Amino acid sequence: MGFENISVEKRGKIDIVSINRERAMNALNKHVFSELDEYFTAVREDDTVSGVVVTGAGEKAFAAGADIKEFGGLEASSASALAKRGQDIFFKIENLNKPVIAAVNGFSLGGGNELAMACHMRVASEKARFGQPEVNLGIITGYGGSQRLVQYIGKGKAMELLLTGDMIKADEAYRLGLVNHVVPAGEEINKSIEILEKISTKGPLSVAKMINTVNDYFDKNVNGFDREVIRFGECAATEDFKEGASAFVEKRAADFKGV
């Protein structure tokens, strides 16, 4: 895969995907969306990758929002289509069969924060800032921010941030539950890799099914408890479960094969 607006660095079985528009504060334009879509479609079936870190180039921004220059001339139908495409790509990230962590190195605003929230976890630099400033432009979130922010921090505080457009610091984002860890500046990728390397020692089939089952909690069209029962049974029928159970009894590290 050859990309111009994102870059992919491999660290063993972990991919570090960087939004590569530092001069534009890593704003998400249509080309970034297309390349993210292409990457996350391909990586789903790539057995050489066990996890993904998403970050922004440079030190100032993870992604400082959507590229507003592309919003000129939008009408209701074209704006809705734009939002729908962004949501579909972010759903692809959220429902990936391997863990994705946002390493937030600076400003995570608007569409950038919606991207961070679509990842399974967030590790923030102490310099990171989070916000949904769409109301300052007379619009609302379009890529799922109104839904995911409520899921992470609750209705009351989410409503405040969405209606005021205020930014919060990394320590406040951690206190509210928006981020999993806050680390010294420059350590957010290393911490993300540390978490992904730990997860990579677990059964890959169970990791994938666990991601799906947690996401089911927020899907109004399914019963998450029923899905948990079904997937528990599916896991029990795998060779990985037999290996995991044997390794536990024998007090050794499991050698999972993903079957």
Pick the catalytic residue: 9, 22, 126, 134?
A: 134
The b-or-e profile of 137-163 (16+ CB within 10 A means b, else e) is eeeebbbbbbebbbeebeeebbeebbe
Mark whether 75 is an active-site residue: no
* Residue 141 near residue 118, CB atoms below 8 Å: no
Pick the catalytic residue: 35, 38, 70, 114?
A: 114
Mark whether 134 is an active-site residue: yes
* Residue 51 near residue 40, CB atoms below 8 Å: no
* Residue 37 near residue 17, CB atoms below 8 Å: no
Catalytic residues: 114, 134
